Chain A
Amino acid sequence: MAERVFITGMGMITAIGDTVEANLGSLRQQQSGLGFTRYIDTIYKEVLPVAEVKHSTAELSTMAGVPNSPEYTRTTLLGLLAMQEALQQAGISDLQQEPTGFINASTVGGMCDTEKVYFDITDAEKEGDFLKYIDTLDCADCTQRIADTVGLTEYITTVSTACSSSANALMYGARLIKQGLLRRVICGGTEALTRFTLNGFNSLKNVDKRPCRPFDQQRNGLNLGEGAAYLVLESESLVRENNSVILAELSGYCNSNEAFHPTSPSPEGDGAFAAMKNALAMSGRSMADVQYVNVHGTATLNNDVSEGKALERLFGTQVPPFSSTKPFTGHTLAAAGAIEAIYAVLAIQHQVIFPNLNYSEKMEELSITPETRLLEQVPVNTVISNSFGFGGNNASLVISKYEG
């Protein structure tokens, strides 16, 4: 029998807080992280809102204990800060005591910094410090720098499946544990805002000039965000051996594919339906057990119809409370799955459901509406967390309260 997989540590940084605790505080105060960028060089600086982490890259490097290290990109530094918190929260001081894997996720690696010097790098006339960024062009750079800084050496890899990347990283880590290759894996993702990505989504006409409005009839696209989040996953036997504190159980997961279009989901949400259904079946929980769904809810025209249809198909008339936390954090792409997995754990730990901000009008295609209030002291024992991406890549996680 495969081992159960428990979450024993979490760390994060987003536009609404530098730590898990600070994120929880902002969620409870209904404080959005959206605003205009201070750090990206773009003509959309005062046009397209983003959820930017409120520190310069230099400040982040000081916070992470690696000041004056230009080879640590913003992507790496966000990840490093989240990693440090996750290790601390899990009470891990010596990574050598237990072989520990690291499954990271990234969509554009160090692009946040390389895009600023790319044309110097390709210009044979130019020499200088910018050559240090050449290694940061890919997605592996941030993973390895984080790993090397904290001392992770086993099963290091990076997943990139667009907006579902870190949900897939969590899934892969859990499977390494279940098959006995490792007893502890740290999984998640890191994403920094870039002009590249902002222009990418804007060229798809997917970015709202206003704060995003998930599941609203008037929604008009997403807002990008940045951040990083990691969860420490441990096998049941390791947890018993170390008396680790269990925050929650990663009880189910599924990755499925739309096989429909490069950037759009199927109109009936086939992939989302299959991902949620199979993840729930794996968790051994019933539909009725699900007390909250943290939806992908990007507020793009297509996602919310498709995901909403999938919820209606799966739960019928009994759709549980659901909300998108994207109006708080923006869409953090590769980090979104892990950030929202932590929100799912927080919902269970604190018996709270987070509100879907900026909602006012029901979508005509759906009969369901998101939870717009902050619900405190409600029973939350099982949460579904959805992350869907380009390439039809759908990932659903089921996170459950630990009940022995």
Chain B
Amino acid sequence: MKGKYYIQGLAAITPQHTFEGNLFSQPLVSTGSNVFAVTEPDYKTFIPANSLRRISRLLKMGLTTALKCMQDSGLSVPDAIVTGTGKGSLQDTERFLKDIRQYEERALNPTPFIQSTYNAVNGMIAVQQQVTTYNNTFVHRGFSFESALLDSMLLLEEGVSHTLTGAFDEISAEHFYIKSRIGHWKKEMVNSAELYNHLSPGTISGEGAVFFTLTAAPTAQSYARVAGLKMLYKPSLTALTTGLATFLSQYGLSAKDIDLVITGRNGDNNFEHYYRQLDLGLPQVSQLPFKHLCGEYETVGAFALWLGAHMLKAQQVPQQWFPMVSQFPATLNRILIYNHFFGDQHTFILLERTAAPAV
């Protein structure tokens, strides 16, 4: 994919205060519980009260973020809605499983079943905005959002005007417990702001909803351009190094052309070696870890992209969010995002300033 794709609008509901206001002046929110829940906005501004009562938490998060993103973009209804989610509406799945047991399969309320469908958020956005064109949902752990992003890039190449591209995942107490049984989370309680000082098995859990409006041409309002995307499935350390070098050289770049790397480091020493391998391939490039802001979940790549896009447009880092980082780059032309989900799905996203000078 050699085309350029521009982020024209964006919105995020995350554990930080990201939905409204200027992110560069928002305080750092932290948690000591190993579960990072989103800071929920007032949904009533976006969803009528009678609908609000009927829909579950993830659907509210997803729909509201999508609507806010479209507002932010200033564009009319999108030509496509493409999303990624690792778990869909977890609370609905849990509820329907419990209802089946509790009511012994009789007289069940279908709502949790309907809302547990992975593409339920997409369907709601389509109804609300009357988007009758392309609609797709990817559900592949750490590739969910990135697959949606790739699909959107394909659509823009095929000539659509703009896409609404997003990701959403939630965590529940029950699911947090389930994943703790296979070692996803740290056994000791960690202050999220101190995450990187606690290298031990497991990480902290999180959630969030992030949407983007992507266009094929830039405007004065564009945040940044997505210049490249690569997904690597279960790479060896060697394949990761080769993958990074190939990815950069595909765009005529080398490590020195990258101003900043946003890394998915999460304090989990089971998988830290991948990030160390990346350090070797990108010596002397400034790094920003971000999982202390949102925790770990399948579609966390969307958070990283949101953060990178804001920084490229504003040409600054929200430094108050990064007390653990001592030096920040002076100019930001090119950001590389590298993330992986528990060692299986590895992703690179190359993000450029809209007016970045050519290399």
**Chain A residues in contact with chain B, CB under 8 A?**
42-44, 106-107, 115, 118-119, 121-122, 124, 131, 134-135, 137-140, 143-144, 147-148, 153-162, 168, 172, 175-176, 179, 181, 195-196, 199-200, 202-204, 255-263, 270-271, 274, 389-393
Contacts and interface: CB of A to CB of B under 8 A. Distances in A.
Given A158-B138, A179-B157, A259 B130 contact: yes
A153 B184 CA distance: 24
Nearest to A263: B114
B129 to A, nearest CB: 8
Contacts of B126: 257-259, 391-392
Given A203-B108, A257-B132, 4 more contacts: A160-B117, A200-B110, A258-B132, A391-B123
A338 to B, nearest CB: 16
A239 B181 CA distance: 47
A257 B135 contact: yes
A264 to B, nearest CB: 11
A160 B119 contact: yes
7 contacts: A44-B105, A107-B117, A135-B182, A137-B178, A157-B144, A200-B96, A392-B127
Contacts of B157: 179
A71 B122 CA distance: 31
B331 interface: no
Contacts of A144: 344
Contacts of A203: 108-110, 113
Contact of A199 (B108, B129, B141): B108
Interface residues of B, number: 57
Contact of A257 (B1, B113, B133): B133
A66 to B, nearest CB: 18
Interface string B273-284: 000000000000
Interface in B194-252: 231, 233-234
A270 B133 CA distance: 11
A390 B135 contact: no
B138 A42 contact: no
B68 interface: no
A45 to B, nearest CB: 10
B140 interface: yes
Given A257-B132, A259-B132, A270-B132, A157 B123 contact: no
A160 B141 CA distance: 12
Contacts of B119: 160-162, 389-391, 393
A336 to B, nearest CB: 15
Contacts of A257: 81, 123, 126, 131-135
Nearest to B110: A203
A177 B113 CA distance: 35
Interface in B83-140: 86-88, 96-97, 100-101, 104-106, 108-110, 113-114, 116-120, 122-124, 126-127, 129-140
B20 interface: no
B135 A391 contact: yes
Interface in B151-188: 151, 154, 157-158, 174, 177-179, 181-182
B178 A259 contact: no
B132 A43 contact: no
B147 interface: yes
Contacts of B137: 159-161
A43 B105 contact: yes
A160 B120 contact: no
A259 B127 contact: yes
B290 interface: no
A156 B140 contact: yes
A270 B126 CA distance: 14
Given A137-B178, A270-B132, A159 B139 contact: yes
Contact of A156 (B81, B110, B143): B143
Contacts of B141: 138, 140
B102 to A, nearest CB: 11
B101 A390 contact: no
Residue of B105, B139, B177 with highest tally of chain A CB at under 10 A: B139
Nearest to A172: B151
Contacts of B129: 259
A145 to B, nearest CB: 12
A393 B100 contact: no
Contacts of B135: 161, 255-257, 391-393
B154 A176 contact: yes
A393 B123 contact: yes
A157 B140 contact: yes
A200 B113 contact: yes
A260 B100 contact: no
Given A134-B181, A181-B1, A257-B135, A199 B105 contact: yes
Nearest to B129: A259
Contacts of B132: 256-259, 270-271, 274
Nearest to B130: A259
Rank and list the top 5 A-B pairs by shortest CB-CB distance, nearest first. A391-B123, A200-B113, A160-B118, A203-B110, A203-B108
A122 B177 contact: yes
Contacts of B147: 157
Residue of A44, A140, A261, A392 with highest tally of chain B CB at under 10 A: A140
B114 A154 contact: no
Given A122-B177, A259-B132, A390-B114, A158 B139 contact: yes
B140 A158 contact: yes
Contacts of A44: 105
B56 to A, nearest CB: 12
Contact of A159 (B114, B127, B134, B136): B136
B114 A138 contact: no
A43 B134 contact: no
A160 B139 contact: yes
A148 B157 CA distance: 31
A143 B140 contact: yes
